[in-house]
Amino acid sequence: MNSRNVKTTATQGYAPVNGLKMYYEVEGTGDPLVCIPPAFGYVGLKSFPALVQSHKVITVDLQGHGRTADIPERPLSIEQYAKDVVGLLKYLAMAKADLFGESYGGNTAATIAMRYDKLGSIQWQGFSKDELASIKAPFLIVLGDCDFVRLEHAVETVKLIPNAEPAVIPSASHFALFSEQERVIPIVKHFLEKPEKVIPLATAETGYHPGATR
């Protein structure tokens, strides 16, 4: 099912952002959600009809991808992607948005959470433990159990980010969002739409009380 078959309002255009003419599309209504593509990704390669039904989904072509032309003298970098996405949000007059990134897009989302929530400019060479600990926004890390990102690495990362949680897709690779979107998107949708914090029953934080319910 293509998102263009869902009856929602769709707009597209080019935004003047940091020297780019950055192509973007906006579809759906609700809270803004920016979809940041992986390497070689572009608007239209994937669609997210389940998210479009409940969110204003903004999809982008990053520098040198899709309909956004390259700037030959400017290197591609996660830091620059983050600046460009933030610039697009300013152009669209969106002061706040959720971020949904895949692979390099996920790194870009994490960089935005760090640089534009709390920290100043730091050259990106991976994330330090202090940088990860500085992320205050709710954070979901999704990976496949056959991902080239090791599960133990993801678990350690989740421990460092105060409001992070993991989701592991069984029998899935790094490219599960491309090959099996129907297994990934419901997890993302639940994360975006659930109450801000729900403390599970019978944890170290709540204790166990026989006969008690939530």
CB-based burial label for 181 (10 Å; 0-12, 13-18, 19+): middle
Phi, psi of 31 (to 5 degrees): -65, 140
Q: Positive or negative CA dihedral for 58, 59, 61, 66?
A: negative
Do the domain assignments include residue 198? Answer: no
- Look up the domain containing 89 and give its range: 9-120+131-193
Q: Rounded to an integer, what distance in angstroms lies between the CA atom of residue 18 and that of residue 122?
A: 18
Q: Rounded to an integer, what distance in angstroms lies between the CA atom of residue 51 and that of residue 2?
A: 12
User: For every one of its 214 residues, what pLDDT tens digit does the chain have, with 9 covering 90 and above?
Assistant: 344 444 556 799 999 999 999 999 999 999 999 999 999 999 999 889 999 999 999 999 999 999 999 999 999 999 999 999 999 999 999 888 999 999 989 999 999 988 878 434 434 467 888 989 999 889 999 998 888 888 888 999 999 999 999 999 998 888 888 788 899 999 999 999 887 665 555 555 555 555 555 4
Do the domain assignments include residue 48? Answer: yes
Do the domain assignments include residue 182? Answer: yes
Do the domain assignments include residue 125? Answer: no
CATH at 151 = 3.40.50.1820
Do the domain assignments include residue 1? Answer: no
Q: What is the pTM of this model?
A: 0.61
Number of domains in the chain: 1
Do the domain assignments include residue 211? Answer: no
Do the domain assignments include residue 19? Answer: yes
Do the domain assignments include residue 203? Answer: no
Phi, psi of 124 (to 5 degrees): -85, 115
Longest Cα separation, the chain = 66
